[in-house]
Amino acid sequence: MIYDLPALHDPVDQGDIIDGCPVLRISQFSISDLLRELADSLEIEGAFSRVVVLTQTCDLANRKTTVASVALVRDAEQLVQQGLLKASDVRGAIRAGRVFGWYFLPQSDEHGLPESIVDLHPLHTVRLDLLTALCQHGRRRARIQPLYREHLAKHFADTYSRIGLPSPYATD
């Protein structure tokens, strides 16, 4: 199976799906303040979100890093209901891994996970001790198993290493 659920006190690892992670974004700013390096007008908003850990196991092992890169895990059905995607997109190109930056995760009743899409476009850096605390308090839903998580990592790498040409070469 693609998922398993590690013990509560297992360290955070690549492919962990964790609920309740605060994900922040700048919602308001003033350019005049920014130019003077003043934070007064900066407003940050956030949501407690389901995320997947992208940082590689080798970097997380032995706590070589104090932060982890995560991506949002979006409920595919909700995206369809919002009119952002068609169900056929999810079942077709996205599930086949043919859309850069969107990675399909299958449903798992056992782990309470609906069909989901990992959105690899906005990435977030989160303190590792925060993720560890969430895991230790039962907010880790599952862990994507080896091979599948490497498949996700490959898609992540492909998304950021691709080179798009302004226009395709002309053919005779």
Task: Kindly identify the residues of this chain, within the stretch 115-144, that bind other proteins according to CB under 8 A.
Answer: 119, 121-122
Q: Which of 38, 123, 133, 157 binds other proteins (CB under 8 A)?
A: 38
CB of 138 to other proteins, least distance (A): 20
CB of 93 to other proteins, least distance (A): 6
Residue among 38, 7, 19 at smallest CA distance from 113: 19
Nearer to other proteins (CB atom), residue 6 or residue 100: 100
For residues 71 and 119, the answer to whether their CB atoms sit within 8 Å is yes
Rounded CA separation 167/145 (Å): 38
User: What phi and psi values does residue 133 have, to the nearest 5 degrees?
Assistant: -65, -40
What's the one-letter identity of residue 15? G
Task: Kindly identify the residues of this chain, within the stretch 145-164, that bind other proteins according to CB under 8 A.
Answer: 158, 162, 164
Radius of gyration of the chain (CA): 18
What is the contact surface with other proteins in residues (CB under 8 A)?
A: 23, 25, 27, 37-40, 42-49, 64-67, 72, 74, 79, 82, 84-85, 93, 96-102, 119, 121-122, 158, 162, 164
